[in-house]
Amino acid sequence: MDSSTREMLAYHHPADAMNEYADHSACTDPSEYEKTYIPTLITSLFVASLSQAATLSHRYSFTNDASDAVAGADLTLNGAATINAGALCLPGNGTRIHNASANGSSLTTLATTITTASAITIEGWFTMDGAGTNEWSKVFMAGNGSNNNFLAMTPRRQGSGFIALTQGAANGIEGVAASTKQTNFDGSTFYMASVWDTTTDTITLYHQGSGDSSPIAYSASLKGFLLSDLNLTELYLGSAVHFGDDDYQGSIDELRIWDGALTQSQISANFAAGADTIAVPEPSTFLLLGLSALTTLTRRRRA
């Protein structure tokens, strides 16, 4: 490893590198210093930018169909599931009948995204209908035929105040985060996001319950659960894997899957922007901001 590479790896944040550059002796010949230092700094900024933001891996907006606008992992409509007015419409009733499912290469792509990540964020906007048929029904669930190997997002469950629930389970290990607010059946659009972060051993549910103007965070321990432990052979929007829960009755306006853990401020920004707009900047945005600051420092040194 050469000295430039060691110097680059020593910086944990672009600001550290830029501060060093700004503080360097004014007696140093700028042309010589910048020839060797700026390429290293730009590389450092790029590496840091990749670690600053989660990456949007899959996006289902249901504008005309159930296609994935990012990676092409398109979903298949089953039963009486339809696309109408920019939403996935699901009639409920039955078990694993009316849903959107991932099959074939789409399932392989989604499974790879989820099981190779150290953290995953899944967020969605949805409307629930039919008070008697949505207990324990799933907006999203992925796993296999074992009730101990899955990820699940449940907007409403029986008991304990009808709270929303997010779960992750594999190899007998289960993490659960639950909200304390109800999700009503009044035709309102609600927001729900789940973050499974194995780097912090944390599962976090962001739920906009009744009376909430923004999503509230509810966190719990993953208890050692790893995404890589999942044997993901089924994935549904609107149906449960393995369990006999009723299919979801209502609509889903949009669902996104991020490789990485969105922060609470990023979750709030996406919620405020709504289903059709992505508020979280891509990693390249952080790089451009860093390069802008670097340009300013260079100009000051030459002034």
Same domain, 234 and 269: yes
Same domain, 289 and 150: no
How many structural domains is the chain composed of?
2
Long-range Cβ pairs for the range 146-153 (8 Å, 24+): 146/231, 146/242, 147/242, 147/243, 148/172, 148/174, 149/229, 149/230, 149/231, 150/230, 150/241, 150/242, 151/114, 151/120, 151/122, 151/194, 151/196, 151/230, 152/240, 152/241, 153/122, 153/124, 153/192, 153/194
Type of residue numbered 106: S
Same domain, 228 and 243: yes
- The CATH number for 128's domain is 2.60.120.200
Same domain, 237 and 128: yes
Same domain, 24 and 147: no
Same domain, 168 and 190: yes
Same domain, 171 and 107: yes
Mean pLDDT by 10 residues, the chain (303 residues): 38 45 49 52 46 85 98 98 97 95 98 98 91 81 90 81 81 90 78 96 90 89 95 96 93 98 96 91 50 49 52
Same domain, 202 and 237: yes
Whole-structure pTM over 0.85, yes or no? Answer: no
User: d(Cα 149, Cα 142) in Å, to the nearest integer?
Assistant: 9
